[in-house]
Structures are given as C-alpha cells and as structure tokens.
Amino acid sequence: MTCIRHMFSKRPRLKVGRLLGAALTSCRCFHAELVRPESSGLPVVHHSQYVCDLPANHRFPMEKFPRVLHFLIKDQVITEKQVWVPEIASEELLRGVHTEEYLNNFINGKINEQEQRRTGFPWSEGIVRRCRYETGGTVLAAEVALHRGLACSTAGGTHHAFPSFGSGFCLLNDLAVAAKCLISSSPRRKVLIVDLDVHQGDGTAFIFKEEPCVFTFSVHCGKNFPLRKQQSDLDVSVEDGLEDKEYLSTVEAHLPSLLETFRPDLVLYDAGVDPHWEDELGRLRLTDQGLYRRDLYVMKTVVSRGIPVAAVIGGGYSRDIDKLALRHSIVHRAATQVWRECGM
Ligand SMILES: [Zn+2]
C-alpha cells in the first residue's frame, strides 16, 4: 500500500499542548484534562470513568472497558504513554445533538421507569458520568485523529441514542456529538460515519438525515435490533449467518466508492464486534480473524487516501468479559498495524 507518511506530514504536526490550545480557540468541544508527552505510537483514548456500577447480573458487560486497555498494555500492543485521557463531555457539547429537556432529565435523574426500560439501564449518577466521559473520549479521538491521522478510543459507538431519548444501551450518541462538533468547528468539513456494528445505527441516521456534511453508512443484520430501522445515507442490510468472506466483500463493495464520491475529511469508525459468531446478540458468523481483516481493511483503505480515522469499539456481548475485551482490542491491534505499516 502507499506509504502515507508524506500525506500526514503536510498536516500540522502539533505538540499536544499546542493542539489543545488551537482546538480550544477553534472549537470549545475539544480539550483533554491531562496533557501527554508526545508519543510516537498510535493514540489510544481511555478514561477510568468509562465504567460504572450496575446491579448484579445485569446483562450489559460494563467491566469490558478497563479490560480492553489492560490487554493492550499487557500484550505490549501499546504503552501507557500512548494513552490520552479525555475530559467529561460538557452540557454545551451534548446540546449540539441532544434536546435541552432530555439532557436535563438524564443528568438530573428524571428518567421514568418506561424510559429506563427502553435504555436497558437503571438511572444512576454513575451511568451519567460514564456516558459523558465516553462521549468526551470519542470527541477527543476525533480531534487527535485530525492531527495524527488515526486514533482509537476504548469505548464509544452508542449509536441507538436519539436527540430526545436513549435506547438499546445507548444514552448519549457519542458518534453524533463528535461529528457535530467536527462540522461546527469547520463549516466545510465533511464526516463519514462507517458503522459496522451488527445493529443499525438508527439514532445516528436519524440525527443526520437532513445534514449534508455527515454521511451515515451502516452495514447491519436486517433481522436484528432495532426492529424499526431509520434511513441512513447508505444502509446495507445483511442476512443472518453471514460469514467472513461474504461480509468482507460487502464492505469492500461500498467503502472505496463512498470515499471517492463523498470525500470526507474524517471517518468515524464504529468497529462493533457483535457480528462475531459467539456474540450473544449478533446473528452473524464472523471470526476473530474476520473482524481483524475487516478493521484492517477499513482503516487502511481510509488512511491510505490521506483521510484521518477515529475508531470506537461499538457493541459486543458476552458473559466472558476477558474474551470479549480481547475481541474489542482487535481494532486497536489492527490500527497499530496500520500505524506501523504506514510510518505514521
Ligand atoms: Zn450492536
């Protein structure tokens, strides 16, 4: 593949301190609470507050988030110096996507029983905090990617959240907040959201249905949640039981032409691992190797065209937390390969 060192060297290679200062003047969304020394490795965004307590036996695998970082460091995929720590997403930032009423109710615990059932989570101060840090993480990954070419968070991809309500384990739409922040801070900027989580990114599709600067592309299992789909700019609905080869051909059939025609300035990539054959909520049959090839293909294809990518982990469901966290770390491993091969 083409070496992209020269492509990104044309972009300003800012020191972190300057990056933060520049970002703050152009867009108040972007900032980090901890200034990191410049590391030559893939930037990985993580916060210890990505996680919160849930009732015993709750089916959402909340403990996976710190385990993803644990395995990346233990397996020497990254070092701690590569970790960027986001700030909590401000209410101002969230108002770019969510309604005033919803944010007020969500932040202050005025979500009724029925609304809580729809989200799958009982309300708590902890869940509000974790969602806001997760959103801050996706925003930071996007900003770091603009300057470094590639960045990954260890959470994110809450694509079922709508402006005025949460749904399907998603309370704030981090992808939408990040995309909105990117287009607001630079009027001609275009963002492509590549959503390969097994479920349709219905909240994101709804939020950007009238927004020409954001293109939503979703490949999902047609018979899976949500029952009532929204219309993305490009929806590819696949059948139950799809395996690696056919799945990859599906992605390959659409991504290059989208990049050529829409010409995004940044890609937000939702690398959900729920298309995996062992996933409790997915209905497809991808293997670990298939997911790796998918992530590698997406990031290489985009980055080799000089377009930055910010990746989030998306959905993944298993009672075996370590197995699941390792599966989620596939995207960071693939990103590390792209980073090295491309001399970024
Ligand atoms: Zn999913």
Q: Tens of pLDDT along 294-306?
A: 999 999 999 999 9
Q: What was the pLDDT predicted at 64?
A: 97
- 39 CA from centroid of ligand 1 (Å): 32
- 274 CA from centroid of ligand 1 (Å): 6
Parallel/antiparallel/unpaired status of strands 83-84 and 150-153:
unpaired
- 225 CA from centroid of ligand 1 (Å): 8
Is CATH 3.40.800.20 correct for 5-341?
yes
Residue 170, C-beta contacts closer than 8 angstroms, at least 6 positions apart: 119, 158, 159, 160, 161, 203
* Count of beta carbons in the 10 Å neighbourhood of residue 33: 12
Radius of gyration over every alpha carbon of the chain, rounded to an integer in angstroms: 18
- Residues 201 and 47 sit within 8 Å (Cβ to Cβ): no
- Whether residue 61 is preceded by a cis peptide bond, meaning omega within 30 degrees of 0, is no
Model confidence at 342, pLDDT cuts 50, 70, 90, reads confident
- 272 CA from centroid of ligand 1 (Å): 6
Least confident window among 16-20, 117-121, 247-251, 328-332: 16-20
- 32 CA from centroid of ligand 1 (Å): 28
- 156 CA from centroid of ligand 1 (Å): 11
Among 337, 309, 332, CA closest to 148 = 309
Could you tell me the two tokens for 196?
A: 């390969």
Tell me the C-alpha to C-alpha distance, in Å, between residue 227 and each of 119, 159, 168, 202, 248. 15, 15, 11, 10, 24
Domain ranges, ordered by start, for the chain: 5-341
| Averaged pLDDT, 87-110 | 97
Model confidence at 343, pLDDT cuts 50, 70, 90, reads confident
Global confidence as pTM: 0.91
Tell me the C-alpha to C-alpha distance, in Å, between residue 171 and each of 66, 137, 282. 20, 15, 20
Separation between Cα atoms, residue 233 and residue 192, nearest integer Å: 10
| Averaged pLDDT, 215-220 | 98
- Residues 272 and 157 sit within 8 Å (Cβ to Cβ): yes
Q: What angle do CA 231, 315, 303 make, to 5 degrees?
A: 75
Instruction: Give me the percent of the chain exceeding a pLDDT of 90.
Output: 87
